[in-house]
Amino acid sequence: MSKKSGVGTIKGVGEKTEKLFEKIGVYTVDDLIHYYPRGYEIFGEPVPISEVEEGKVCTICGSVFGRVQVSPGKGRQITTAYLKDLTGTIKVIWFRMPFLRNTLGRKGVVVLRGRVVKKRDSLVMEHPEIYDPAVRYQEKINTMQPVYGLTAGLTNNAVIKALRQALEQVREQDDFLPDEFTKKYHFRPYEQSVREMHFPENKEAFLAARQRFVFEEFLVFILSLRQIKNTQDRMKNGFHFEDQPQISEFLRQLPYELTAAQLRVWDDMQKDMKSQYVMSRLVQGDVGSGKTIVAVLGLLFAGLNGYQGALMAPTEVLARQHFENIKDMLEQYQIPLRAELLTGSMKAKEKREAYARIESGESSIIIGTHALIQEKAIYHNLALVVTDEQHRFGVKQREMLAGKGNLPHILVMSATPIPRTLGIILYGDLDISVIDELPKNRLPIKNCVVDTGYRPKAYEFIRKQVAQGRQCYVICPMVEESEAMEAENVIDYCEMLSETLGDSINVSFLHGKMKEKEKDEVMNAFGKNEIQVLVSTTVVEVGIDVPNATVIMIENAERFGLAQLHQLRGRVGRGKYQSYCIFMTASKSKETKERLDILNHSNDGFFIASEDLRLRGPGDLFGIRQSGVLDFKVADVFQDAKLLQNASEEADRLLLDDPELEFPEHCKLKEHLRIKLDEIMLETTL
Ligand SMILES: Nc1ncnc2c1ncn2[C@@H]1O[C@H](COP(=O)(O)OP(=O)(O)OP(=O)(O)O)[C@@H](O)[C@H]1O
């Protein structure tokens, strides 16, 4: 086995497990070595069964009592057992582990560790880890146990086992970080740091190791940005943009006036597009601040000037929403441009026809997902690409999109509230425009944080809002184990709510496992108010815009990060109606209360992000990811702002001394950067 070999070369990793590893993005031994835990658990002593608490991960010790039963149902089997100690008995269930029926009964005393939930008024431990024999658990008490991101079928223990072997392959010479930084910032040696990331002695050791990888990650990121920026600096374009009277007319006819901030951004964009240089602009604005219309203006501007404009959305649901919205606008305001939708799930024939209309230039506004940048899509004078911050383009992507024509202007949309100073570092290759005000017609969202006892009242409130013609979202409890279980959960909840609310209210559900077409149908029906209450997972998190929705109720609010809760809440309060957000939590913990209080008292994404940082403090072990957007493996833009600053300064200095990274001490870094840049290119072209 070497670091470059596949995970399948690790002892005990068979073909099936190899496939599961691939699902989580681990292909090689090296990938595994750098597959860091999502968090760590500190195991406590087992508690008496009579003292387990709802909503908490608990450890109990006892023996299996009675028969172990497995409910039928292909792929959904539930194994049920009862565990007993001197103080009481608790029901325990496992999902999709029918083989436990034969093994569990024989084990005698076991230690189980899992989350306790309430089902039909009694406590149930869900899908716990089993420690066998119990003495093995003793070794773990008070140690930090890594918790990895998993997929159905892959257990945490399997990852740990494979990792222990993989770590044998780590060598000091694998370190690509130049020595000068290790010395200057007192980082621990590479090999030790990798180990401490997975199996830290204690919190301090973990924090020290983490610092090193945070710095490394930022440094590589910034150096890559600088390279992209260097090649695209002040690139000339061959477009010729002129003011379009139809756009002024369009703006006059819109049912609302643009805010001053929106007008400012639109002004920046026009200047960019009319100049002789290629635009690379980031538009940053809080949820619901009205970024879409600004993007639409850009697309119209391109179309009316005889070019094509493309809008790339992160999900199909969102792509379709934008498409319908733009198509309606074109019709309503009699703008003679054709909009085209292009998504991965479209039928081959539909795609072929769309490609043809794109290539001939018949369609000038093209909206879609990643499919937009697939090879088969050939553009006819593409002048603008609007995208979100997940899909950032380098020169290569621009070239590919443009075909043989000019490099298109790029507009990137972001709802991540990042302080300007950080933004300049992180988006070093982009000019930044900020939408810092909300449309005038908005009433601030009214929030409340309540416990689960409030549910009946919340449902009553929803019923009243629906009676007034409004609509509601219910975000379902999160299930960490698997997407499939999350889907089941959403369906069950939907059934229950539908019964509670009665026949006159249409309740439906949405989850990530549904087919794109089904998702579209549900979202469409919700958009038209044919569905009044939508029970959903976090798939509605980004971009969904149904201004008639006025209530969002978020179950298990304590399990989400503040930024994510803010995004979710942003689904309401998008129109003129008073909107409400109900944060539901069973947790009594002080931290939860404090965190949710921040949201309860503020609707300002920027303030929330900074408060979150203050609360979590530096080096928070269990920090729930701030944003999926600037997705660093280890680093956190907010928490590690200081290291980001350091890395940025060091990157500048490094490039000043050795612009091509040709010094011998930089050669490993250079090689790593090359691989990294290839990866970035690949990610954006797939
Ligand atoms: N100036 C304005 N006045 C009134 N309503 C507006 C204005 N600008 C946009 N809107 C409306 O506000 C709603 C939210 O706008 P939009 O969907 O563009 O938000 P966003 O910034 O993209 O938010 P998110 O980040 O949540 O996707 C839309 O229904 C839009 O029509």
SS3 233: coil
Residue 60 φ/ψ, nearest 5 degrees: -130, 160
List, run by run, the mean pLDDT of 10-residue segments along the chain (686 residues). Answer: 84 91 91 90 87 88 89 79 94 89 82 88 90 71 84 88 92 91 95 94 90 94 80 76 95 95 96 91 91 97 96 89 95 96 92 94 93 82 88 68 80 82 78 90 93 93 96 82 70 92 93 87 93 90 86 91 88 94 88 89 85 64 46 79 90 91 93 80 50
* Residues 427 and 299 both lie in one domain: yes
The atom of ligand 1 lying closest to the CA of 291 is 21
Residue 299 domain flag: yes
- Nearest one of 379, 380, 239, 255 to 301, comparing CA atoms: 239
Are the CB atoms for 125 and 79 separated by under 8 Å? no
SS3 84: strand
Name residue 549's beta-bridge partners: 471
* Residues 576 and 627 both lie in one domain: no
* Residues 451 and 430 both lie in one domain: no
Residue 669 domain flag: no
Residue 315 domain flag: yes
Residue 588 domain flag: yes
Q: How far apart are CA 474 and CA 454, in angstroms?
A: 14
CATH for 363: 3.40.50.300
Residue 1 domain flag: no
DSSP letters along 576-628, please? SS--EEEEE-----HHHHHHHHHHHH---HHHHHHHHHHHH-TT-TTPPPS-S
Per-residue pLDDT at 479? 63
Q: What is the pTM of this model?
A: 0.75
- The residue out of 93, 122, 141 marking a domain boundary is 141
Residues with CB under 6 A from ligand 1: 256, 258-259, 262, 285, 287-293, 415, 439, 441, 543, 545, 547, 570, 574
**Smallest CA separation from ligand 1 atom 10, residue:** 290
Determine if residue 674 is left, alpha or beta; phi over 0 gives left, psi from -120 to 50 gives alpha, anything else beta: alpha
* Residues 419 and 463 both lie in one domain: no
Kindly give the distance from the C-alpha atom of residue 204 to the centroid of ligand 1, in angstroms, as a whole number.
45
**Domain carrying residue 249:** 245-435
Are the CB atoms for 283 and 413 separated by under 8 Å? yes
**Smallest CA separation from ligand 1 atom 5, residue:** 439
Residue 266 domain flag: yes
* Residues 282 and 384 both lie in one domain: yes
ipTM of the complex: 0.98
Are the CB atoms for 201 and 188 separated by under 8 Å? no
Give first-to-last CA distance, the chain, whole Å. Answer: 29
- E-strand stretches of 9-104: 39-42, 57-70, 78-84, 89-95
Residue 303 domain flag: yes
* Residues 430 and 469 both lie in one domain: no
The total of structural domains in the chain comes to 4
* Residues 409 and 527 both lie in one domain: no
Q: How far apart are CA 168 and CA 171, in angstroms?
A: 8
* Residues 65 and 190 both lie in one domain: no
Kindly give the distance from the C-alpha atom of residue 441 to the centroid of ligand 1, in angstroms, as a whole number.
11
* Residues 322 and 469 both lie in one domain: no
* Residues 635 and 595 both lie in one domain: no
SS (H, E, C) 175-225: CCCCHHHHHHCCCCCHHHHHHHHHCCCCHHHHHHHHHHHHHHHHHHHHHHH
Are the CB atoms for 684 and 393 separated by under 8 Å? yes
- Nearest one of 527, 535, 539 to 552, comparing CA atoms: 535
Residue 528 domain flag: yes
